[in-house]
Each structure stands twice: as C-alpha cells, then as structure tokens.
A and B are shown apart, each in its own frame.
Chain A
Amino acid sequence: MSADEAVHRLHSGMTLGIGGWGSRRKPMALVRALLRSEVTDLTVVSYGGPDVGMLAAAGRIRRLVTAFVTLDSIPLEPHYRAARERGAFELTEIDEAMFMWGLRAAANRLPFLPVRAGIGSDVMRVNPGLRTVTSPYDDGETFVAMPALRLDAALVHVNRADRQGNGQYLGPDPYFDDLFCEAAEAAYVSCERVVDTAELTKEAPPQSLLVKRHTVTGVVEAPNGAHFTSCAPDYGRDEAFQRTYATTPWPEFTERFLGGDEQTYQSAVREAGA
C-alpha cells in the first residue's frame, strides 16, 4: 500500500506508537503522510526524535508518552521544546526502561510488568496514576508496576520487507520496532525496498528478520523513507538537512518541504542539498 493509504486507516484520537530511536530509523515518510492527513488528537508513544517534533509542531499530539525527545547530534529537539514550553500537549514522562517494559507487557498481554525504575524519582510525582507492586517472595522489594503500553497502531521503518510484512533490519540496532508491532492492534511497516521473500535471507542472516508478518497490517515501500534520520547501512543521518529542520521556523519549513506529496518532499530535499 502507499503511505497515504496506510495513514488513511488511522483516525483521530488513536494511540500511535512510532518506532526507531531519537533521530534513528524513524518512519518519516509515514509521519509526513500523517502530516498531510487530517488525523489529530493523537496519543503518541515514542522514543522521540523529529517524528515527535514535527507532529507536536503541527499540533497533532494530545498526549505524548516518552522518556526523551532528541535529534542525537542536536541534543534538544527545537520544535518539541517550543511546543512543550507553550503547553501544547499533555506529557506522560517515563524512564527508558519503563517504556520498554510497558511495550513488553502489552506484547505479552500482561496488565503490567514490575520494573526497578522510577521509585524515588519525580517520574512518580508527574505520573500519579503509577502503582507499585511488592514482591510476594522473601525479598519483599517494591517495584513500579509498569502498565502495558497498548497501541492502536504502530508505524516503523526497516531496510527491507516482503509484501506479506516480514520486515528486515540491516543496521546495527533493531531498536524496539518488533515490540511496537507486537504491542499494536495494527502495524504499518515502511521499508527502503520491497523484495521477494527469498531475497531477504540471500545475503543477510536470519536474525535480521525482525518484524514478523503476523504482527503487520500493511507494507509501504518508501525509499529514503527515514530521511532525514539515519537508516544504516542504506544511508546515514542527513546532518545538513537536520540542521535546516532545526533552524527553520516551522511554518517556513512546512511551506518549503511539506506542501506536496512524498516525491515533492524528496525533490525539495535534493534541491536544498544541491
């Protein structure tokens, strides 16, 4: 399916998980399609990067669930910061490990998982709904009962996929993309290239097959679809363009780069780099 067709299946008010990590292998073509749609009022669950920055700047987020938002080489995400400082959305701020265990709980159909994180920190103060659980064994230690982070839909971007939704990563880190898909009712996987199933393991080892088709609803071929975030080994982060994104006022950025479809975006990027 196309990115627009995938986004057409989403609706306002959803809880949407977005894969990748910071400014690394983010499903940006799908995020751009989302920005072209009318979908809004989202609860976004993300180890945040420019996906969060753009959706926040565009006013699409009602609540954000995250441990951080960063562009990595630019530590603070300027559009996210601006939106947060003007109180544009609600925030559920949790620790990186709590986030992971929340996804695991959802993927395993558990209401929560115990995690040794959060207690003593202000994560407890800013999330008054968080509960603790005490070990029923002799140690008697108290943990945070991290509630499952169930997702209505997940968006992830990988290097290769077949048409059935078997997704392959070829870079160094899977991040949590398989977990996002497992924790979601529906998952949309974009990829650099759709290939025949047999081709997936022709040159890459089987453990690179990260995302399984039973967890995937739709596959989108989106070359350069993580741009401007990294998608190793296909391409690195476009640092020059990321700087442009970070230093251009949002209305000007949307006008220059997000006014048309994905093809228009990619040509505008090429022009900006020329």
Chain B
Amino acid sequence: MSEATRAEYCVIACAEAWRDAGEILASPMGVIPSVGARLARLTFAPDLLLTDGEAMLVRPDGTPEGWLPYRQHLALVTGGRRHVMMGASQIDRYGNQNISCIGDWERPKRQLLGVRGAPVNTLNNPTSYWVPRHSRRVFVEKVDMVCGVGYDHADGARHHRIPRVVSDLGVFDFATPDHAMRLASLHPGVTLDEVVAATGFELAVPDEVAATRAPTAEESRLIREVLDPANNRSREVGS
C-alpha cells in the first residue's frame, strides 16, 4: 500500500479524538472529521454513536439504528454524551472559536454562519476543532466574536473541555498551566517553523515535538476502500 497522504494523517488525528470515548455521540463537521469518526467507530471506539448528518443514528455502513431529530440532538448535548468536532473560521490561543462574522459584529466585514450551537456545545460536552487550512487568518491572537468558549472565558465551567485542535499541519491541545494552545504533534513533512509562521499567536512548543502517528495498514485499507473510496478527503486537504 502506498504511503499515507497528509489527508490520511489528518483522518487519524481526528479519529484519535474519539479514542476510548465509550457510548457517546461523535459529531464530526467536515469531510475528514467524518471519515475519522467512522474510522474510530470501526476500530478503537466501537461503542460510538454516529449520525447520517440529518435525523438518524446510523451504523458506519449507513444502517439506521436510532432517531435523533434536532430537538433530541440539542437535549443530548446538554446531557453531555457527545464529543463534537466543529470547524473554526478563527481560533485563538485559549481556544475561543468564531464562526459568526469577521470584523465588528455591529457591521461585519464578512458575515459568516452565525454562532450556531458553539456556545451550548462548549459549555456542555467536549468540543474539538478541525481547521483544514492552517493560517494566520484562522489562528489569530483574538477572535472577532466568541462563539465557542475558550479556557480564558470558561471560568472553570464544570463541563467545559477542548480536547484537541487538528489542522492540516498538526495537532494541538491546551495541556499547559494556563491552558494556552500547545503543539501536540506535527504531521510528517511539516516543520516547526512552518507552523509557527502560520500561527498568529505565540504557540506553546514542548522541547520534544512528537509526530502524528501513521495509519496502520488496516486503517489505511478502511479509509481508502471502505470509508472514502471517492477520496473526498483529498479535496479538503491536498498532499
């Protein structure tokens, strides 16, 4: 089997967010997190619940196993039995996330989606983030609108947790004394300088930087032959 692509490393990095998660709902947003969640379900997180993106809970092959309309989905969030991986138009050092607008909220330069469920997600269940194009436009000193709550705004809220941020360059977490973002691993082929240059704030960097793990042969097979044979992942992250 040919070597793993950058997109496939990203799939693994996303999938790892749900390792040993138990019987909770995985809510991936984006192609690569979706492949990652289903990969986790097929391998090291067999109890995960998945949705079809609408109102059904489904097995990885699409077979319905439950009903989860939006009203129940929102109730499930507040029950905490979920780990969501959201996108981020901006994310800052403490994990505040913005998907609402760019510029002044009163009169935005660019209107985006709106806060959606980011405020309720971040106060109720683990919330991770996926950024397919790591740049200083996304990794900013301060977000324009706090949608997902970061550690400096959470004030120790009892169910607040941001397990990881995955980008096309690496994996990041908040395992620092003040919960500032830290580089957890670099994807193969990415240099530390590259990440630092593409990040608009001072990133905590450990003395020894780990490498994102490679997919196993079986994981590669599942990704390429079962979960994403059309290779949609490569449209989200090029090689």
Which residues of A approach B to under 8 Å, CB–CB?
21, 48, 66-70, 75-76, 80-81, 84-85, 87, 93-98, 100, 115-123, 125-126, 141, 172-176
In the complex, the chain A residue whose C-beta lies closest to that of B68 is A173
Docked-complex contact B105 and A122, CB < 8 angstroms: yes
B235 in contact (CB, < 8 A): no
Interface centre among A68, A80, A94, A98 (most CB of B within 10 A): A68
In the complex, the chain B residue whose C-beta lies closest to that of A80 is B111
Say whether, besides A68-B116, A172-B55, A96 and B74 are in contact (CB < 8 Å): yes
Say whether, besides A120-B157, A141-B158, A68 and B124 are in contact (CB < 8 Å): no
Docked-complex contact A95 and B117, CB < 8 angstroms: yes
Say whether, besides A97-B120, A120-B146, A121-B147, A66 and B70 are in contact (CB < 8 Å): no
B178 in contact (CB, < 8 A): no
B69 in contact (CB, < 8 A): yes
B114 in contact (CB, < 8 A): yes
CA distance A116 to B79 in the complex (A): 11
Within 8 A of A (CB), among B90-118: 100-101, 105-118
Min Cβ gap A172→B in Å is: 4
Instruction: Among A84, A121, A141, A173, point to the contact of B146 (Cβ < 8 A).
Output: A121
CA distance A237 to B130 in the complex (A): 27
Docked-complex contact B70 and A21, CB < 8 angstroms: yes
Min Cβ gap B140→A in Å is: 14
Min Cβ gap B90→A in Å is: 12
B180 in contact (CB, < 8 A): no
Which residues of B approach A to under 8 Å, CB–CB?
54-56, 67, 69-71, 74, 77-78, 100-101, 105-120, 122-124, 145-149, 153-155, 157-160
Docked-complex contact A98 and B120, CB < 8 angstroms: yes
Interface of A is mostly: loop
Pairs A-B, 4 closest by C-beta atoms? A68-B114, A117-B120, A172-B55, A120-B149
In the complex, the chain A residue whose C-beta lies closest to that of B80 is A116
Residue contacts A-B, CB under 8 angstroms, 27 given: A67-B114, A68-B113, A69-B113, A80-B111, A84-B101, A84-B111, A85-B108, A93-B105, A95-B115, A95-B118, A95-B120, A97-B77, A100-B71, A116-B120, A117-B123, A120-B155, A121-B115, A121-B119, A121-B146, A122-B147, A123-B119, A126-B105, A172-B55, A172-B67, A172-B69, A173-B54, A176-B70
Instruction: Among A76, A95, A100, point to the contact of B112 (Cβ < 8 A).
Output: A76
A residues near B101, Cβ cutoff 8 Å: 84
Docked-complex contact A120 and B153, CB < 8 angstroms: yes
Instruction: Among B107, B119, B154, point to the contact of A117 (Cβ < 8 A).
Output: B119
Instruction: Among A66, A67, A85, A87, point to the contact of B110 (Cβ < 8 A).
Output: A85
B residues near A176, Cβ cutoff 8 Å: 70-71
